[in-house]
Amino acid sequence: MEKRLVRVNKYLSEIGYCSRRAADKLIEQGKLTVNGKVPPIGEKISEEDEIRVDGKIVHSTKKKVYLAFNKPVGIVCTTDTRYEKNNIIDYINYPTRIFPIGRLDKPSEGLIFLTNDGDIVNKILRAQNNHEKEYLVTVDKSVTSKFIDKMSNGVPILDTITQNCKVERIGKKSFKIILTEGLNRQIRRMCEYLGYEVIKLKRVRIMNIKLDIPIGSYRDFSKEELDTLNKLVEHSSKDLDN
């Protein structure tokens, strides 16, 4: 995920520190520094930059938001509101800026997280942290024991072999699968390789948080959910995967 760059005056306004005009005045007076240097008017920064006013670090007063959302089919998990009319941001229309953690492709539905906490985003997205994601899948023909065995033990897609995963038949043409990696359109590609077509794909759990709200609805994480989630990602690397 690319860093979001904004003008320093806009950033200070967004976090509730002062107005844009007041921020420009602080720069003109030499009272505001970015990473130890007085920036030019209009300088762009990211949230990782250190901003000080009169030598004191400026902290964001922005409340951290953690949402569980039941994404409908047809909604795209992108923050690009200019070119994608069915984007997740406009659909939810949340009053403050948030972004999705990971992705759930357009034909799929179910649980996705949204937040304004970049730190937890980076931790969750690391595939090697083995964070479980559970899906219910309906396919176009009977689910056989041979199919379950092959899905469980690795399928060659995208120039790699998928990691071993838990797969369980739950109906004549449906199964449950728990993944710990997140390759692009992974379940659909795995099924396609084995001669099956996915008719319906729904994510019902990410780590400790289960889908428990109607399609198109969202809710805040409970305190217990957030505490458990933070423990699960406590030792995760902050570096992003692809």
Q: What are the residue numbers of the active site? A: 105
> Which pair of tokens denotes residue 157?
């897609």
User: Which of helix, strand or coil describes residue 55?
Assistant: coil
Rounded CA-CA distance 97/228 in Å is: 24
Tell me the backbone φ, ψ of residue 222, rounded to 5 degrees. -75, 165
> Which pair of tokens denotes residue 208?
């400790």
Q: Residue type at 43?
A: E
> Which pair of tokens denotes residue 17?
């520190």
Of 7, 73, 92, whose CA–CA distance to 43 is shortest? Answer: 7
> Which pair of tokens denotes residue 87?
């984007």
Of 127, 71, 128, whose CA–CA distance to 104 is shortest? Answer: 71
Cβ-Cβ contacts under 8 Å for 68 (sequence gap 6 or more): 111, 112, 113, 209, 211, 213, 218, 219, 220, 221
